[in-house]
Amino acid sequence: DTGVSQDPRHKITKRGQNVTFRCDPISEHNRLYWYRQTLGQGPEFLTYFQNEAQLEKSRLLSDRFSAERPKGSFSTLEIQRTEQGDSAMYLCASSLDMAGGPADTQYFGPGTRLTVL
Amino acid sequence: GEDVEQSLFLSVREGDSSVINCTYTDSSSTYLYWYKQEPGAGLQLLTYIFSNMDMKQDQRLTVLLNKKDKHLSLRIADTQTGDSAIYFCADSLSGGYNKLIFGAGTRLAVHP
């Protein structure tokens, strides 16, 4: 079973450095989501892709954040000039768009925990 | 904006039933979900319910939806120590795709 995978699982960086995370969705899933989860909170939506098109970005996604899904398969999330407030768990989820079908159920990866020193 | 609220903590004895409650504000919800998160891990989908249903049962899990009061609950029968985790209620906003709005999570502690 190949669920959603994320790499790396943990990242420690110094303030001001750039970091990039990767998400590999479930292979036939055409929708991909990024969420951010801070300690003691539920995940918050960051952005959504339908195939390779980025269709929505949350206002949480400042101009230091960029996400791509170049071939409609894996996705990357880059944070430039990291700040201590970026420390969080970054979660990726994928789902299959089935018009008229059952719930567009999102399956989550294990997350990447970012610590900015 | 849309909001989802949950009580933060629940403690139950092993073998008892657990009931985790959730309220939401979105009037046009289509699906509501329950996810489980163990320490340091991602979210595991437990179950979901369509908004025109009142109840859904799946083995030890029972979901009740009161759409009038915008209240959702998850009942876990015969709670085990392995059920100790954080449980998140999530509302899917209408609009062509499922942007999920999560509550802050309910930490379930199961003691002998």
Distance of residue A39 Cα from the nearest chain B Cα, in angstroms: 10
The fraction of chain A above a pLDDT of 70, given in percent, is 94
Q: Which of B23, B43, B44, B107 to mutate to test the interface with A (most CBs of A within 10 A)?
A: B43
A42: nearest CB among B30, B98, B102: B102
B22 contact residues in A (CB cutoff 8 A): none
CA distances from B101 to A41, A46, A75, B52 (A): 12, 11, 22, 19
- Residue A97 C-alpha, separation from nearest chain B C-alpha, in angstroms: 8
pLDDT of residue B51: 85
Q: In this complex, which of B31, B42, B99 lies closest to A91 when CB atoms are compared?
A: B42
d(CA B44, CA B87) in angstroms, rounded, equals 9
Interatomic CA distance for residues B7 and A107, integer angstroms: 24
Task: Convert the pLDDT of each residue in B34-57 to its tens digit.
Answer: 999 998 888 999 999 988 899 999
pLDDT of B13 reads 97
Q: Is the pLDDT of residue A67 over 70?
A: yes
Q: Do residue B104 and residue A42 have CB atoms under 8 angstroms apart?
A: yes
Q: 3-state secondary structure string, chain A?
A: CCCCEEECCEEEECCCCCEEEEEECCCCCCEEEEEEECCCCCCEEEEEEECCEEEEECCCCCCCEEEECCCCCCEEEEECCCCHHHCEEEEEEEECCCCCCCCCCCEECCCEEEEEC
pLDDT digits (tens, 9 = 90+) for A70-108: 988 999 999 999 999 999 999 999 998 766 555 678 999
Q: Do B43 and A31 touch (CB under 8 A)?
A: no
What is the pLDDT at residue A61? 86
User: How many interchain CB pairs under 8 A, A with B?
Assistant: 65
Q: What is the pLDDT of residue B106?
A: 97
Confidence class of residue A13 from pLDDT cuts 50, 70 and 90? very high
Residue position matching structure tokens 């292979």: A27
| Nearest Cβ partner for A45 among B88, B99, B105 | B99
The list of chain B residues with pLDDT below 50 reads: none
Any CB–CB contact under 8 A between B93 and chain A?
A: no
